[in-house]
Every structure is written in C-alpha cells, then in structure tokens.
Copies of this chain bind each other. A is one copy, B any other.
Amino acid sequence: MPAQRTAEGVPTIYHVATAAGVSIATVSRVLNGHAKIRPATEERVLAAVRELGYVPNAAAQGLSKGLKRILGLVFANPWWHDDPLSIEETNLLFADTVIRGAQWNADRHGYSLLLLSSGVTRIGHGALFGDVIGKVDGLVLLDRVVRQERVAPIAKRVPVVLLAGSGRSRSAVTVRVDNAGAMWLLAEHLVLHHGMRRTAFVGGLPDSPDNLARLEAFERAVRELGGTCEPAERWSADWTSPGAARVVRRRLEDKRRQPEAIVCANDQMAIGAMHALATAGLRVPDDVAVAGFDDIPVSAYLSPPLTTIRQPMRELGAAAVESLVKRLEGVALDSREVVLPTKLIVRESCGCQAGASEVGEATLPSRMLADGARSALSETVA
C-alpha cells in the first residue's frame, strides 16, 4: 500500500485505510455501499472516517467515475460599475428565482449547481465558454447568454438545455413558459372584460425570445379582439424599472391621447411605469391600467396591487435541471421542448376590485397551452 501520499493536512482515503487497518478498496466500498462488508470492518472504517474528518476528493471521484455530479448554469451577471443606471439588473428576479429552482432540483438529484456568467471574463470569449465547460456534466443556458449558432458546438460536448430560449434549437432541449397563452388571457381580460381598446406594450430587451413572444402575442391578440396596440419601437425598454419609467414619461409628454392600458413584459417595468404615471399625476387604474409579467413577490404589495401573469420561475429552473439529469442518467426525453403553464393573476391595477382575500387573486387556467406541454411541475416535484 502506497501509504499516505498527501503532505497537506487533508486526509485521503489512504489515511482512512491505514487508520482502520484495511485497504483503500474496502474504505471505498464502505463509503459507497457496494458489496458486503463485515459489520466489524465497516464500523472500524466509519470510525476512522469520523475521526479524521475524511471527505472524498470530488475531483478524484469525478475523474474515476467519469461523472462530476456538477451541472452548470450560465446567466448574465454584469458588474454595474461601468453603468450606474443598471444597478437594477436586467430581469434580476427572474434569473435569480430560476437559479434557485435549478439549485434545488440539482441538489435533490445529488448534483451541485455551478454558476457561470457570460460576458465578464474568459467565458464566452474562448470557444466553448473557455474551460469552464470542463467542470460540468451538463449546462443550462439562460436566455440570450449565447447566440443560436454557438449552441451546437457546446452541445456536442455536454448536454445542453436552453432556458427561455426561442425553442428552435436542434441540438438542445428548450424549457420555456407559455408566453402566447398568457398574453391571450391578459388581452381578453383587458379588452373584453374591461372594454379597453387602446393599449401599449412596454418591451424588455428587444432580442430576448421571451420578450418577442410576449410582444407578438399581445399585439396579435389585442388586434384580433378589436383593439389597438401602439407601435412597439416607441415602447421598447430594457426590463428595468427606470427604463420603463423613461419610456412612459416620454410618451406622456406626447399630448396625443394616452393608451387605456399599459402592459409590461415584466413586473419590474410595470413598477417603473406605475411610478412614472403617479409622478405625472395619473391614477392607476382609473386613468390608465397597468399589468406586468412574472408575479414577483412585491407585486401583490404595490398600491394598487399589480395585475400580472404568474410564470413558474422556480419550476422553470427545476425543469431544466430535470431534463439534464434525465439525459445524464440515460432516460429518454419525450420531447425537445418543455412548455410550462402560466396564470393570469388579477389584482387591482387593471381596474378590478380587491377581492375578499388579503391579496386578491383570481386564477384562470391557461388555455392555448402549446403542444406537448405538460405540467413539468408535477413531473419535477413529484
């Protein structure tokens, strides 16, 4: 037996073996539960493990087993010092909540989640995200972190799941929400229920697939229902409250008749829009109705409470991990695309009255669920 090789203070399997008077193979067996071990032996090994505070070196395990049990999630994580205006980052809550869902489910499956960012240093510069790809068994790519054509080469090396992507990738699985169904519901509520005809849609970053899907679906739905939606160019923002506030203020200076309803591609922008309206002396929803998308926690606590689309952000992260894990364990995926359902949460910013409950909340099932959509939630959290 090569005895203890490490000079460092960190105990290895050799130390444990020596201390327990067995071979390293036996230690490994005890720790991994394979094979039958004599109880007395097992006890000695475990005692040694405890005594030394031994924890296996995951790098060695990964090398030996060919599985690192680490999943990567790539998101946009800029530092903001260059741009004081972006203190409130692009869709902050969305990414963070997705991350939480992904971490949670990875953990459940015995994997850990490695957080990777696009945009700051080496990542994204070299091909294949630099070397970080070598650290993971699979990758979740958030919306917009990588261009369409860059996905294939990455997917050649590790399984990839696209989160909130356009869903048009051959090489990777896509997980997203039912944006179109959501916007239809909202348009119906505004146009049919409240009788509003003139609307506007405050968009997030223009190249975001989610933003595009929401915009197109909303415009189309409103038009088909007999209403109008102001030209998107004039209402394009950047997912942030200040950005949306700016857009709304600019429109307010224009003295033509204002829209009756302003729908925003996320809740943060709805908050910015409401702020701009309030500052201009307009009341929500009496003068203008406002709606958002996401249903972030504060939305229920705004005045007025925000009518919005709830998307299962956490489940989105969990579902992405779920299909990655399935792929790694050799389970066949039944679809290249997972579409999670959304809900219309009716509160007061659209003109409805507060319900009996503390936080008024009406829930309609999403119709128009895309083909192949199932509740990945029940799948995931089973």
Contacts and interface: CB of A to CB of B under 8 A. Distances in A.
Contact of A117 (B103, B123, B245): B103
Given A59-B62, A112-B114, A301 B99 contact: no
Given A112-B115, A301-B275, A135 B53 contact: no
Given A87-B297, A131-B58, A297-B92, A157 B104 contact: no
Contact of A58 (B53, B68, B128): B68
19 contacts: A9-B156, A53-B128, A56-B131, A58-B132, A59-B61, A77-B107, A79-B381, A87-B297, A92-B96, A93-B93, A96-B99, A107-B117, A110-B122, A112-B114, A271-B298, A275-B301, A275-B303, A278-B303, A303-B303
A341 interface: no
Interface in A63-122: 63, 66, 68-70, 72, 77, 79-81, 87-89, 92-93, 96, 99-100, 103-104, 107-108, 110, 112-117, 120-122
A112 B116 contact: yes
Interface of A: 8-10, 50, 53, 55-63, 66, 68-70, 72, 77, 79-81, 87-89, 92-93, 96, 99-100, 103-104, 107-108, 110, 112-117, 120-123, 127-128, 131-135, 153, 156-157, 240-241, 245, 268, 271-272, 274-275, 278, 297-298, 300-303, 314, 358, 381
Contact of A63 (B50, B57, B314): B57
A241 B359 CA distance: 12
Nearest to A377: B81
Is the contact region of chain A dominated by helix, strand, or loop, or is it mixed? helix
**From A9, A77, A112, residue with most partner B Cβ within 10 Å:** A112
Contacts of A63: 57, 59-60, 63
Nearest to A303: B278
A106 B211 CA distance: 30
Contact of A8 (B53, B66, B297, B303): B66
Contacts of A66: 8
Given A53-B127, A59-B61, 11 more contacts: A8-B66, A10-B157, A53-B157, A56-B131, A59-B62, A59-B68, A61-B134, A107-B123, A112-B132, A113-B114, A274-B301
A87 to B, nearest CB: 7
Nearest to A92: B297
Contact of A56 (B121, B122, B134): B134
B241 A381 contact: no
B115 A301 contact: no
A104 B81 contact: no
Contact of A53 (B55, B153, B271): B153
A134 B303 contact: no
Contacts of A272: 301
